[in-house]
Structure 1
Amino acid sequence: MPIELDHTIVPSHNAVNSAQRLAELLDVPWSATGVGPFSPVFVNDGLTLDFIQTDEDFPIYHFCFRVGDADFDAILGRIRAANIPFRSTVRGPMDGQVSTAYGGRMMYWNEPDGRQWEILTVSYARQP
């Protein structure tokens, strides 16, 4: 069996709201309560993001989701409908643009807790 990432813990100052918001943007299931203290977002059959409530400071986390073109359009539509600022580069101004670098499309947005989310259609980490 290949090694696969099953889940990761995502610290949050408002775990339930953060989990719900991400799940709604990605159009995936979530639960206000999961195993133990977690509010899980079920990204796919093999990956869960377990949001956990904390009052502690934490570093900026970056999570990237590779999606198909139709899902990219749908997620971007939900981000726009929610008036969430987004940008075309990992750092920089919220320019409301989508990058077409690396042979696909990508964009970034931030969560109020400081996390950085990214969606892309072609992985630049695994170029052919």
Structure 2
Amino acid sequence: MTITLNHTIVPARNKEAAARLFAQIFGLDFEGGSDHFAPVRVNSTLTFLFDDSASFQSCHYAFHVSDAEFDAILHRVQDAGVAYGSAPWNIDDGMLNDWNGGRGVYFKNPDGHVLELMTAPR
């Protein structure tokens, strides 16, 4: 069986600002909002559809990336002044983890969603 996640809706206080920041940090393109969503294509099979919402719980989004992508994204996180850390419970310790033989890091976006990067999948 082949199952591919095609899209997911990401709640935000300001969908276009959230989409723009996500695209900037991840080195992706944001081409503007559509009728209802502010879409950011993550890769050929996955799109994040940012949507305005007045109330929502924070979510966790984890990304398996190459070493080069990890370095580039982490550099943009640091340049943006976003706190980062080695674990969900240490999200601002300024350190990385080495779980599963790779590197990992966690950070929050302005809406409180936790974003995780890992170079070795779980």
State how far apart, in whole Å, the 2-side matches of 1:123 and 1:6 are: 19
1:99 matched to 2:97: yes
Runs of 4+ in 1 over 4 A off after TM superposition: none
- Give runs of aligned pairs for residues 52-71 of structure 1, distance below 5 A: 52-55=51-54, 57-71=55-69
Give how far 1:31 is off: 2.7
Give how far 1:93 is off: 4.7
State how far apart, in whole Å, the 1-side matches of 2:91 and 2:57 are: 20
State how far apart, in whole Å, the 1-side matches of 2:41 and 2:29 are: 6
State how far apart, in whole Å, the 2-side matches of 1:100 and 1:42 are: 28
1:41 matched to 2:40: yes
TM-score by length of 2: 0.95
Match of residue 18 from structure 1? 18
Question: SS of 1:44's equivalent?
Answer: coil
State how far apart, in whole Å, the 2-side matches of 1:86 and 1:24 are: 16
Question: SS of 1:40's equivalent?
Answer: strand
State how far apart, in whole Å, the 2-side matches of 1:59 and 1:33 are: 23
Q: CA RMSD in A?
A: 1.2
User: Which runs of 5 or more residues in structure 2 are unaligned?
Assistant: none
State how far apart, in whole Å, the 1-side matches of 2:58 and 2:112 are: 6
TM-score by length of 1: 0.90
Identical aligned residues as a percent: 36
State how far apart, in whole Å, the 2-side matches of 1:50 and 1:32 are: 11
Give how far 1:32 is off: 2.1
User: Which runs of 5 or more residues in structure 1 are unaligned?
Assistant: none
